């Protein structure tokens, strides 16, 4: 019985220092002159913090969609918006031209909430346990959530440019696009053929398009 009662007490003492830190420190604006760490950037000295650290205008302008995927992501991550450091949030703007796509990709460090403000976006994600696909056509005013780490995509199959704003559950969500991970590097074509079941001509074509070698 005593051992059973002791465990919650020990857990309380382990949690207490972190709770106290959260209560006594209002924010931790990133000191971008230092290196990022798994726990985030070190805090900027309080005397050098300004209102500008908590403000970001970068999402007001449309991104440049004249590229291979006809889409642009404008980030408001900790590197652009130091005030989000330590708060567990960040954002982005997504512009997708007609026929444009954000290919299958993952955010290893955050879940994503997408809110459409213009146009139409076909979006979906794939579960890791059963490869079940959840997909939905989103219109102005619609929102969709993409759980952390799961493969997902967005495609504009409409007749006009689509615009969405995105919220992430971390200050630096990370990004890995599957196509670029496979074909935009120097992984030997013979290996890529084995792991993708594509033939040599297909692999070399994709490597040429995406800038890979090998």
User: Parallel, antiparallel, or unpaired for β 112-118 and 133-138?
Assistant: unpaired
- In this structure, what token pair is assigned to residue 158? 């409409």
Number of Cβ atoms within 10 Å of the Cβ of 207: 20
User: For the segment 177-213, what is each residue's pLDDT rounded down to a tens digit?
Assistant: 999 999 999 999 999 999 999 999 999 999 999 999 8
- Torsion angle, CA of 183/106/94/115, rounded to 10 degrees? 150
107 is an annotated ligand-binding site residue? yes
Q: Which domains does the chain have, with CATH numbers?
A: 51-56+69-174 (2.60.120.10), 181-210 (no CATH)
57 is an annotated ligand-binding site residue? no
Distance in angstroms (rounded) separating the CA atoms of residues 86 and 28: 6
Distance in angstroms (rounded) separating the CA atoms of residues 53 and 27: 11
- In this structure, what token pair is assigned to residue 142? 């619609």
- In this structure, what token pair is assigned to residue 78? 């900790």
User: For the segment 89-128, what is each residue's pLDDT rounded down to a tens digit?
Assistant: 999 999 999 999 999 999 999 999 999 999 999 999 999 9
105 is an annotated ligand-binding site residue? yes
Q: What is the pLDDT, as a whole number, of residue 24?
A: 57
CB of 83 closer than 8 Å to CB of 53: yes
pTM: 0.85
152 is an annotated ligand-binding site residue? yes
Number of Cβ atoms within 10 Å of the Cβ of 90: 25
Q: How many helices (DSSP H) and strands (DSSP E) are in the chain?
A: 4, 10
């Amino acid at each position: 019985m005593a051992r059973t009662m002791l465990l919650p007490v020990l857990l309380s003492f382990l949690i207490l220092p972190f709770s106290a830190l959260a209560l006594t420190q209002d924010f931790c604006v990133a000191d971008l002159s230092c290196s990022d760490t798994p726990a985030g950037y070190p805090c900027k000295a309080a005397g050098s913090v300004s209102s500008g650290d908590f403000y970001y205008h970068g999402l007001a302008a449309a991104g440049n969609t004249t590229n291979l995927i006809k889409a642009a992501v404008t980030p408001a991550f900790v590197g652009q918006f130091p005030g989000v450091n330590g708060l567990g949030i960040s954002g982005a703007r997504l512009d997708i031209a007609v026929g444009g796509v954000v290919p299958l990709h993952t955010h290893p460090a955050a879940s994503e909430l997408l809110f459409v403000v213009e146009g139409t976006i076909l979006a979906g994600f794939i579960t890791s346990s059963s490869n079940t696909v959840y997909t939905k056509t989103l219109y102005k005013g619609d929102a969709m959530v993409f759980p952390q780490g799961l493969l997902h995509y967005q495609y504009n199959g409409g007749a006009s440019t689509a615009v969405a704003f995105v919220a992430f559950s971390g200050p630096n969500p990370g990004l890995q696009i599957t196509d670029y991970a496979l074909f935009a590097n120097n992984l030997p074509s013979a290996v890529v053929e084995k792991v993708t079941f594509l033939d040599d001509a297909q692999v070399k074509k994709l490597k040429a398009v995406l800038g890979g070698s090998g």
